[in-house]
Chain A
Amino acid sequence: MTGRGRHRRTASPAHFRKGLLGHALLFAAALALFGADATLGWCATVLNVVFLLFFFRHLAFAVSAARWAEKDLDAPLVGVEGFTPSVAVLVACKDEELVVDGMVSALLSLDYPAGKLTVVVVDDASTDGTGAILDGWAAANPRLRVLHREPGAGGGKSGALNDALALVDAEIAVIFDADHQPEASVLRRLVRHFREPKVGAVMGRCVVRNGVESSLASTIFIDYLSGYLVNEYGRQALFELPAYGGANCAVRTDLIRALGGWNPDTVTEDTDLTLRLLLSGRRVRYDPSAVDFEEAVLSSSRFWRQRYRWARGHQKCLRDYWRPILRTRHLSLMEKLETMLFLWVYHVPVLCGLGLLLIVLRAFGFGDSSAIEMLALSALLFAGPFTELAVGLVLGRVERRAVWMLVGFIPAFGMSILTATKAYFDGMWGTTYSWSKTARSGATSTVAREPVAVP
Chain B
Amino acid sequence: MSLVTRRLERTLVRRASRRMVTTATVRRRQLVLIEMLLAVLGCVGGYLLLIDWARRFEVSLTATILDGLGVDRISAVLGDSFIVFGPGYEPVVAEMTASCSILTSVLALAALALVALRERPQVLVGLVAASLFVLAANQVRLILSLLAGRYLAIDALIFFHDWVGAAINFAYTLIGLLIMIGLTMYDAQRAEQDHTGRHTADRPEAWARPGLGHRVPVETSAETERTNVAAILHRRILPKSVSSRLARRREQRRVDYRVGHESAGRRAVIVRELAAKGLGVHTATLLAVATHETDPLVLDSLATAVAARQWEPVAGQDVISLRLWARAWLMRAPQQDAGVAPTGRLIAVTGAGGPAGVAVIKALQAAGDHVLALDANPDAVGLRLAGRAAVLPRADQPGYAEALLTTLDEHRPAALICTVAEEYAALTPLTGTLARLGVRTWLPDLNAAETCLDKVAFAAALYQAGVPHPTTAWNAATAGMIPGPWVVKPARGRGSRDVVMVSDPSDLAHAFATVPGAIAQTRLTGREFTADALVDRDGTLVACVPRWRDETRGGISVRGTTFENPRVTEVAAATLRAVGHTGPANVQGFVAEDGSVTVVEVNPRFSGGLPLTLAAGADVVTAYLEGILNPGARLPGLTYRPGVRMARHFAEVYYDADGAPVTDPLALGVAR
Q: Which residue of B lies closest to A397 (CB)?
A: B192
B25 to A: closest C-beta gap in Å: 5
Within 8 A of B (CB), among A236-250: 237-240
Do the beta carbons of A208 and B197 come within 8 Å of each other?
yes
Q: Is residue A399 contacting chain B, with contact meaning CB distance below 8 A?
A: yes
Tell me which of A40-48, A54-62, A267-275 binds B: A54-62
Decide: B116 and A62 in contact? CB cutoff 8 A. Answer: yes
Majority-rule SS of A interface residues:
helix
- Also in contact, A289 and B177, with CB within 8 A (given A238-B32, A444-B216): no
- Known A-B contacts A239-B25, A446-B214; the reply to A64 vs B32 at CB < 8 A is yes
Q: Is A30 an interface residue (CB 8 A)?
A: no
A205 CB-CB contact with B under 8 Å: yes
Given A63-B32, A291-B210, A375-B166, residue A405 in contact with residue B108 (CB < 8 A): no
Contact B197 A207 (CB under 8 A): yes
Chain B nearest Cβ from A38, distance in angstroms: 24
Point out the residues of chain A lying under 8 angstroms from B185, CB to CB: 393-394, 398-400, 402-403
Query: How many angstroms between the C-alpha atoms of A452 and B108 in the bound complex?
Result: 57
List which B175-195 residues lie within 8 A (CB) of chain A. 177-178, 181-188, 190-195
Least Cβ–Cβ distance between A351 and chain B, in angstroms = 19
Which residue from A73, A240, A393, A446 sits with its C-beta under 8 Å from B217? Answer: A446
A399 to B210, CA, bound (A): 17
Distance A293 CA – B212 CA, assembled complex (angstroms): 11
A446 touches B116 (CB 8 A): no
The answer to whether A391 has its CB under 8 Å from any CB of chain B is: yes
Q: Is the CB of A399 within 8 A of B191?
A: yes
Contact B29 A239, beta carbon cutoff 8 Å = yes
User: Least Cβ distance of A333 to chain B in Å?
Assistant: 12
B170 contact from A59, A289, A379, Cβ within 8 A = A379
Instruction: Decide if B36 touches A63 in the complex (CB within 8 Å).
Output: yes
Asked if A252 is an interface residue, CB under 8 A from chain B, the answer is no
Measured between alpha carbons, how far is A293 from B198 in the docked complex, in Å?
11
Q: Report chain B residues within 8 Å CB of A387.
A: 112, 116
Interface residue total, chain A, C-beta cutoff 8 A: 65
Question: Which B residue sits closest to A62, measured CB to CB?
Answer: B116
Q: A238 with B193: in contact, given A59-B36, A394-B117, A447-B217 (CB under 8 Å)? A: no
User: Which chain A residues (388-439) contact chain B, with CB distance < 8 Å?
Assistant: 390-391, 393-394, 396-407
Among residues of B, the one whose C-beta sits closest to the C-beta of A224 is B197
What CA separation (Å) do A404 and B179 show in the bound complex? 9
Instruction: For the complex formed, measure the closest distance between the CB of B428 and the CB atoms of chain A, giving whole angstroms.
Output: 38
B648 contacts the other chain (CB 8 A): no
Q: When A398-B193, A398-B195 are in contact, do A183 and B36 touch as well, CB less than 8 Å? A: no
Q: Is the CB of A60 within 8 A of B33?
A: yes
Between B116, B191, B194, B657, the greatest number of chain A beta carbons within 10 A of the residue's beta carbon is seen for B116
Which residues of A have CB within 8 Å of B108?
Answer: 383
Q: What is the bound-complex CA distance between A102 and B210, given in angstroms? A: 19
A185 to B210, CA, bound (A): 9
Q: Is A221 an interface residue (CB 8 A)?
A: yes
> Nearest B residue to A207 by beta-carbon distance?
B211
B507 at the interface (CB under 8 A from A): no
- Choose among B32, B178, B211 the residue that contacts A291 (Cβ–Cβ < 8 A): B211
How far, in whole Å, are A432 and B219 apart by their CA atoms in the complex?
Answer: 46
State in angstroms the CA–CA spacing of A382 and B170 once bound together: 10
> Would you call A183 and B173 a contact (CB within 8 A)?
no
> Which residue in A59, A64, A405 is a CB contact (below 8 Å) of B195?
A405
**In whole angstroms, how far apart are the Cα atoms of A205 and B214 in the complex?**
13
| Complex: A62 Cα to B114 Cα, angstroms | 12
Contact B193 A396 (CB under 8 A): yes
Q: Which residues of A contact B190 (CB under 8 A)?
A: 397
| A residues in contact with B660, CB < 8 Å | 113
A201 in the interface, Cβ–Cβ < 8 Å?
no
Quick one: which of B115-171 are within 8 Å of A by CB? 115-117, 119-120, 166, 170
| Contact of A348 with B by CB under 8 A | no
Q: Please state if A400 and B191 are interface contacts (CB–CB under 8 Å).
A: yes
CB-CB nearest in chain A for B209: A73
- CB of A218 within 8 A of CB of B184, answer no
Residues of A within 8 A of B498 (CB): none
Q: How far is the CA of A63 from the CA of B660 in the complex (A)?
A: 44
User: What mask results when residues 288 to 318 of chain B are scored 1 for a CB within 8 Å of chain A, else 0?
Assistant: 1011000000000000000000000000000
Does any Cβ of A come within 8 Å of B200's Cβ? yes
Which residues on B sit within 8 Å (CB–CB) of A288?
A: 210-211
A222 to chain B, nearest CB (A): 7
Instruction: Give A348-403 interface residues, CB cut-off 8 Å to B.
Output: 375, 379, 382-383, 386-387, 390-391, 393-394, 396-403
The answer to whether B197 and A221 touch across the interface, beta carbons within 8 angstroms, is: yes
The smallest beta-carbon distance between A238 and chain B, in angstroms, is: 5
- CB within 8 Å for A183 and B215 given contacts A211-B195, A398-B185, A399-B195: no
Distance of B155 from chain A, by nearest CB (Å)? 16
Interface residues of A in 68-93 (CB under 8 A from B): 73-76
Decide if A394 touches B28 in the complex (CB within 8 Å). no
Q: Is B52 an interface residue (CB 8 A)?
A: no
* Cα A270 to Cα B515 with chains together (Å): 74
B35 interface residue, CB < 8 Å from A?
yes
Check A222–B195 contact: CB distance below 8 A.
yes
Is B224 interfacial (CB-CB < 8 Å)? no
- Determine if A67 is an interface residue (Cβ-Cβ < 8 Å): yes
In the assembly, what is the distance between CA of A222 and CA of B196, in Å?
A: 8
Residue ID in chain B nearest A229 by CB atoms: B211
Chain B residues within an 8 Å CB radius of A74: 209, 288, 291
Q: Does A445 contact B (CB under 8 A)?
A: yes
- A448 in contact (CB, < 8 A): yes
Which residue of the partner chain A has the closest CB to B188? A399
Return the CB mask of B253-280 against A: 1 if under 8 Å, else 0.
0000000000000000000000000000
**B181 contacts A396, C-beta separation under 8 Å:** no
**Residue in A64, A211, A393 whose CB lies within 8 Å of B28:** A64
Q: Does A334 contact B (CB under 8 A)?
A: yes
Min CB distance, B614 to chain A, in Å?
A: 34
- Could you tell me the distance in whole angstroms from the C-beta of B219 to the nearest C-beta in chain A? 7
| Contact A400/B210 with A74-B291, A448-B219 known, Cβ cut-off 8 Å | no
A394 touches B184 (CB 8 A): yes
Which of B177, B195, B216 interacts with A390 by CB under 8 Å? Answer: B177
- Binary B-proximity of A16-47 (CB < 8 A = 1, otherwise 0): 00000000000000000000000000000000
| Distance between Cα atoms of A293 and B215 in the complex (Å) | 10
**Chain A residues with CB below 8 A from B29, complex form:** 60, 238-239, 334
Asked if A390 and B658 sit within 8 Å, CB to CB, the answer is no
Q: Which of A258-297 contact B (CB under 8 A)?
A: 288-291, 293
CB-contacts of A273-331 with B (<8 A):
288-291, 293
Whether a CB of chain B sits under 8 angstroms from the CB of A120 is: no
**A144 located at the interface, meaning its Cβ lies under 8 Å from any Cβ of chain B in the complex:** no
| Contact bitstring B473-510, A, C-beta under 8 A = 1, else 0 | 00000000000000000000000000000000000000
Query: Which residue of chain B has its CB nearest to the CB of A293?
Result: B214
Residue of A nearest to B200 (CB): A399
Taking CB atoms and an 8 Å cut-off, the chain B residues in 10-39 that contact chain A are 25, 28-29, 32-33, 35-36
Task: Please pick, from B117, B212, B216, B657, the residue contacting A396 in the complex, using a CB distance under 8 A.
Answer: B212
- B166 lies within 8 A of A400 (CB): no
Contacts of A240 in B (CB 8 A): 25
Asked whether A193 is an interface residue with its Cβ less than 8 Å from the other chain, the reply is no
Assuming the A-B contacts A63-B36, A447-B217, are A400 and B116 also in contact, with contact meaning beta carbons closer than 8 angstroms in the complex?
no
20 contacts between A and B (CB under 8 A): A63-B115, A205-B210, A212-B196, A218-B196, A221-B196, A238-B28, A386-B177, A394-B186, A396-B192, A397-B193, A398-B195, A400-B182, A400-B187, A401-B195, A402-B195, A403-B181, A406-B181, A407-B174, A407-B178, A445-B217
Besides A222-B195, A379-B170, 10 new A-B residue pairs in contact (Cβ under 8 A), listed by A number: A59-B36, A189-B210, A209-B214, A218-B196, A238-B25, A334-B29, A393-B181, A400-B183, A446-B216, A448-B219
- The chain A residues found within 8 Å of chain B, CB to CB, are 56, 59-60, 62-64, 66-67, 73-76, 113-114, 183, 185, 189, 205, 207-209, 211-212, 217-218, 221-222, 237-240, 288-291, 293, 334, 375, 379, 382-383, 386-387, 390-391, 393-394, 396-407, 444-449
